[in-house]
Amino acid sequence: MANDQNVLIFTDGACTGNPGPGGWASIVSLPGGNVHELGGGVKETTNNRMEMAAAIRALAMLDLAEQNSIILYTDSTYLIKGITQWIWGWRSRGWKNAEGGDVANRDLWEELLRQVTRLKPSTIDWKYVRGHAGYPGNERCDEIAVSFAKGNPEQLYVGPLDGYFVDLKDLPEAQPLPEKSAGGSKSGGRSKNGGPGSKSGGGGGPATYLSYYAGQVKRHYTWADCEKTVKGRNAKFKKAKSPLEEREILIGWGLDPGVLS
C-alpha cells in the first residue's frame, strides 16, 4: 500500500505496427504532493522499447534527498522480469542471452540499470498491473502513450495531487506476474470478456464501475461500457465491488450517495 512518503509511478508504452510509430508515458507522484505526467514519441520503435523508455524517464526525473520506497506499476512482464531477473545473467555473459545471441535493447537495459543503481539506497518495487483493467493510473498512461504514438499528444499535467483528475489512490490489487520467456513481448491486454469483472475468486459479487463526467454520475456493468464514457475525458471513474463501496466512492467524490438510487 502506498503512502504519502512513497514515490508512486505508473508507466506504459504503445506502438502501432511493432515496429512502427510509438509512444511512452509515465505518471510520477512525489512525496511532496505533486504529480508529473511525462510522455514522448518515436517515429520507428517497438512496444518493448517504449515500455522501457517510460520507466527510464520516470526514474531519471527523481532527485531524492533521502531514502524512499518507489512503487512502479507496469503491464509489461518483459520490463519487470528483465530488470529483476534476466539482466544479471545477461550482464555476466557479456550481454548475451541464454542462446548466445546479443541481448535486444541492450542500450536501454544498461540505462535502466544505471538509473536503478543511482537511486540507491531507495528501493523500487516493480508491480504488475493488467492492462485495460480500469485502473486510473494505468488507463491514463495508456491514453498518453497512444496519443504520442499517433502524433496527437495529450496535454500533460504537472501540479498538485489534490488538483489531479486521475484517482491515484485507486491502486491495483496484487496480481501474479504472467509467465513469459526472456525477450518476449508485452503480456496482458484487454479482456475479451469486457474488462476485469471476469476475474475469478473473492469479491462480493459482480463488479460495477462508476463514472462522473459533466455533472452526471453513471453506473456501468462492464469496464468496456465505462471506458466509452471516460476515455479521452477528464472524468472520474472507479471500480466498486459492492453497493457499500459504491456509496463510499460517491461520498469520496463529494456527491450525495442517493444519486444512483
Cell of residue 151, nine digits? 502524433
Which among 33, 175, 53, 160 has a CA at the least distance from the CA of 105? 53
CA dist., res. 240 & res. 222, Å (int): 11
Residue 8 Ramachandran class (φ > 0 left, ψ -120 to 50 alpha, else beta): beta
Q: Give the count of beta carbons closer than 10 Å to the beta carbon of residue 175.
A: 16
104 within 8 A of 138, measured Cβ to Cβ: no
SS3 state at 20: strand
Catalytic residues: 12-13, 51, 75, 132, 142
Contact indicator for 79, 52 with CB cutoff of 8 Å: yes
Contact partners, residue 59, CB within 8 Å, separation at least 6: 9, 70, 72, 112, 115, 116, 119, 124
